[in-house]
Amino acid sequence: MELLISFGIVDSYFSKLKNNLKVDVAIVGGGPSGLVAGYYLAKKGIKVVLLERKLSPGGGMWGGAMMFNQIVVQKDTLPIINEFGISYSTCEEFLLIDSVHATSALIYKATQAGCTILNCISVEDVVIHENKISGLVINWAPVHREGLHVDPLILMANVVIDGTGHDCEVVRTLERKNNVSLNTTSGKVMGERSLSVEEAERTTLENTKEVYPGLYITGMAANGVCGSFRMGPIFGGMLFSGKKVADLILSKQ
């Protein structure tokens, strides 16, 4: 029995990993925008893998506001909320949602649609072929956390989405190591500004775009790269950004 359990886990995991070393789209970061993007891409038959360095995907949505596990979204997100089967109540122009319920729904629907999630994996570099992002350099998250000298593996992807939130890790790595010009006002990562909810919600969607051939930004990473504001525990812009980045990629298929 003990061996059967171990054999089953090892064989099935490595089959999953091997099957996702060459994908259409690789999403880095399992926050709400990344999960929504994964859902809409997979739903259209795109082979998509989502890489999350933490144990649990979901990003900042799990904790709500200051660990009050409630979040708000704008009422115009209702089509997305209903598609994911998320329950809500209403208050003024907002929907009030249990953050644990919402995050669980995003994860479930993304995987049900066919998006593969690999957690506990960090991205330490990108692969560039002919001035285009063509893949990612990956390692176990604990390897990075412990500072171990362990060589990585390579995951090839036609398109990469940076959904790493405030840190904008993929775009920052690209810029730092290659001195490239990005599709931003300055040509560089401009950094996140302080909180301004209305502006941040608007610009999250505006800034969702391709910033370098083969590399897209979504969610808070979009504002961080483009020099816009943070927004706090309101998630409508995140949901719309995830759908927009999926639509942008699908339009080029």
CATH, domain range 23-61+100-250: 3.50.50.60
* Region 194-198 average pLDDT: 96
Work out the pLDDT band at 253, boundaries 50, 70, 90. confident
* Region 32-56 average pLDDT: 98
> Looking at residue 17, what is its pLDDT?
97
- What digits encode the pLDDT tens for the residues 208-221? 999 999 999 999 99
pTM, two decimal places: 0.97
* Sign of the CA dihedral with 135 first, then 141, 147, and 148 last: negative
Work out the pLDDT band at 247, boundaries 50, 70, 90. very high
DSSP assignment of 9-47 equals HHHHHHHHHHHTSEEEEEEE--SHHHHHHHHHHHHTT--
More confident residue, 92 or 6: 6
* Domains in the chain: boundaries: 23-61+100-250
> Looking at residue 62, what is its pLDDT?
94
Residue 90 pLDDT more than 90?
yes
Mean pLDDT estimate for the chain = 97
